[in-house]
Amino acid sequence: MAYYAALKHLHLTTIAVTFTLFVLRGVWMMADSPRLQARWVRVLPHINDTLLFSSGLALAILLGQYPFVDGWLTAKLIALLAYIVLGTFALKRGKTRGQRTAAWIAALLVFAYMVAVARAHAPWPF
């Protein structure tokens, strides 16, 4: 149980870090800031998101609830894919700043949905 609590703590910490970095990078994207290309800005999110994903997977195993078995985890994983795709459009692939900003806002809405799904353990938490 202590192990579960520690993993959940790691999961929540990495969620806070990923959220902060994504908001920051979005602001830099809108401001056309060169900081977006800084090495640590390109590397740190990958390290953090690997920890975020691994801790989520470990929690799922300890909880005995799995994507494609339990609805809320299936919804969360599909939302995660949408968040990743929207995130790459927001920070890289969007052709105009308007497109990138729209993708950034949509990604933040998907992120909020994932938090709500995780808290309610329900695919439709509203």
Q: Is 45 within 8 Å of 18 (Cβ atoms)?
A: yes
Q: Minimum Å distance from CB 30 to ligand HEM? A: 21
Question: What is the number of residues in the chain?
Answer: 126
Which residue's CB is nearer to ligand HEM, number 83 or number 89? 83
Q: Minimum Å distance from CB 37 to ligand HEM? A: 23
Which residue's CB is nearer to ligand HEM, number 11 or number 100? 11
Question: Which residue matches tokens 């949509």?
Answer: 106
CA distances, 48 to each of 2, 16, 99 (Å): 22, 10, 26
Q: Minimum Å distance from CB 34 to ligand HEM? A: 27
Q: Contact residues for ligand HEM (CB under 6 A)?
A: 8, 11, 15, 18, 52-53, 56-57, 59-60, 63, 67, 73, 76-77, 80, 83, 111, 114-115, 118-119
